[in-house]
Amino acid sequence: MLKIGHTVTHHGKRVGDPSITIPVVEELETVPGIPLHEGDVDYYSREYPLESQAVTETASREWVWTLYDKETIEDRRTHDRLNRPIVAASRNTGDIEPTAEPVPGKDITQEVKQKARELGFGEVGITRFDMRYAYQLKKSWVKFPHAICLAYEQDYEPTQSAPSREAEGPHFGTYRIMGAVGLDLADYIRSLGYHAQVHSPNDNSAAYIPMFVEAGLGQLGANGQLLSPHFGSRARLMIITTDAPVKYDAPIDYGIHKFCQVCQVCVQRCPARALMKEKIWYRGVEKNKLIYKRCRPVMARYLGCGICMKVCPIQKFGMKAVMEHYVETGEVLGKGTHNLEGYTLEDKGYFGPGELPTFDPEVFDMPHGRVEDVLFEDLKEKLMTNQVPEGSEGDHVLREFAHKVKEYISTHDERWEKYGEEA
Ligand code: SF4
Ligand code: SF4
């Protein structure tokens, strides 16, 4: 039996469920939220502002479509068709006027939280919208100062089979449901007399997790995902910003920052070896960093992968059960079992605890950066290797380059509209 340092009381999973108590053993205590150096976060956000991968990684986002089979393309097109109106409806929500007069001086925090939970959001917390995590492209779009952080639970059962088509369905389906009910919640806030701007889960305005951590809704896991109390990393995230009078929540130490260093299941099970064992200081925050160029090719080939979500004990058993087990045994619930750690990759078969697939190096040959930059690198390579001769043949190569760049840039807005964050 390990010594408990403190306990965290959290609401029950569904509206009306009794609250839960999560014990945090003394040896796992660090800080509420995540260790960070404010000055460094300021510095990096000012000098190296964040930008969405939908802008900075367009080359790989185009490339993944060449790997999808017919069925996957069809699934993604279907999601896009169903989701597009929801994403489009979110975009101008900041301009919609409230539909009632507010009650002067009335704090509406509890009403908004209650309504959010009734609409199906499993977690809701409030903090300031921290512009330091906003994407460059979206900074001027964000209108209101307070961030209502909303997490929707992705279905348990199908997620346990990730990577699979069964797990991909609820992944996209959850985004559509929460996107739609998020619009309803914004209507509700307007009916209380205030503005509400919907930041769609498929058209992100910022790196959302730091604000969820600040609002006390969980802590950052070694898998790069928010570990929320009831459903761990099986949480899909969105934000609504508002000018309503609301109270901010505070970050919480659930013990996760240190627990992940003990657990390491996602790190050890990632087929791409894309998760780092040790934490590093990155942009002013101490965290385990995900290696995008290792993860993305595997995600693209194996139905969104999601193994790091699936094998997380907090996702599978909930934080209370995992932390209680740790208090009693000093061990990670489910670690080393096929039930938690096993997974199947379509063309490679089943991998149990301690077993990992291997890949040919070419699997990770992925274009990086923006499409136009990749095209320019390609042209430079041709110039350096004398593949651009003098005269009309060389002119043709240059014209072809200009044509491709123009074509890409002219259709960029269309693609952004179409695929948003998920492209
Ligand atoms: S999605 Fe798959 S490849 Fe990417 S980090 Fe998670 S387990 Fe690794
Ligand atoms: S699997 Fe373990 S190490 Fe990875 S995020 Fe979950 S708790 Fe943390």
341 in the same domain as 396: no
Q: What is the length of the chain?
A: 423
Which residue among 346, 369, 392 closes a domain? Answer: 369
186 in the same domain as 43: yes
Ligand 1 environment, Cβ below 6 A: 270-272, 274-275, 290, 295, 298-299, 305-308
Q: Which two tokens stand for residue 156?
A: 């348990």
Measured CA to CA, the distance from residue 256 to residue 183 in angstroms comes to 32
Comparing 142-151, 159-168, 413-422, the range with the smallest average pLDDT is 413-422
331 in the same domain as 359: yes
Q: Mean of the pLDDT values across residues 136-146? A: 96
Flag whether pLDDT at 9 surpasses 80: yes
Flag whether pLDDT at 408 surpasses 80: no
Highest mean pLDDT among 23-37, 53-67, 393-407: 23-37
385 in the same domain as 352: no
Give the distance (Å) from ligand 2 centre to CA of residue 308.
Answer: 8
Helix axes 165-191, 70-91, angle to 10 degrees: 10
288 in the same domain as 416: no
Taking the CA of 262 as reference, the closest ligand is: 2
297 in the same domain as 417: no
Q: What is the dihedral of CA 98, 100, 105, 107, to 10 degrees?
A: -70
Q: Count Cβ atoms below 10 Å from residue 338 Cβ, excluding itself.
A: 12
Residue 59 placed within a domain: yes
54 in the same domain as 131: yes
Which residue among 325, 340, 369 closes a domain? Answer: 369
Given pLDDT bands bounded at 50, 70 and 90, which one contains residue 315? very high
Give the distance (Å) from ligand 1 centre to CA of residue 266.
Answer: 8
Residue 19 placed within a domain: no
Select from 206, 231, 208, 228 the least CA-distant residue to 218. Answer: 228
186 in the same domain as 155: yes
Do the beta carbons of residue 161 and residue 224 sit within 8 Å?
no
**What was the pLDDT predicted at 386?**
86
Given pLDDT bands bounded at 50, 70 and 90, which one contains residue 217? very high
Look at the chain and report how many structural domains it folds into. 2
157 in the same domain as 107: yes
* Average pLDDT of the chain to the nearest whole number: 94
Residue 18 placed within a domain: no
176 in the same domain as 65: yes
**What was the pLDDT predicted at 415?**
57
pTM value?
0.93
Taking the CA of 340 as reference, the closest ligand is: 2
**What was the pLDDT predicted at 419?**
47
Percentage of the chain beyond pLDDT 70 is 97
Q: Count Cβ atoms below 10 Å from residue 280 Cβ, excluding itself.
A: 10
Q: What share of the chain is helix, strand, coil (3-state, %, to 5)?
A: 50, 15, 35
Flag whether pLDDT at 423 surpasses 50: no
375 in the same domain as 309: no
Flag whether pLDDT at 411 surpasses 70: no
Closest C-alpha to ligand 1, atom 3: 295
Q: Mean of the pLDDT values across residues 48-57? A: 92
Residue 320 placed within a domain: yes
**What was the pLDDT predicted at 412?**
60
For a mutational test of ligand 1's pocket, the pick from 273, 295, 296, 348, i.e. the residue with the most ligand atoms closer than 8 A to its C-beta, is 295
Flag whether pLDDT at 421 surpasses 50: no
Q: Mean of the pLDDT values across residues 342-350? A: 96
Taking the CA of 333 as reference, the closest ligand is: 2
**Domain coverage including residue 143:** 26-369
215 in the same domain as 73: yes
Residue 380 placed within a domain: yes
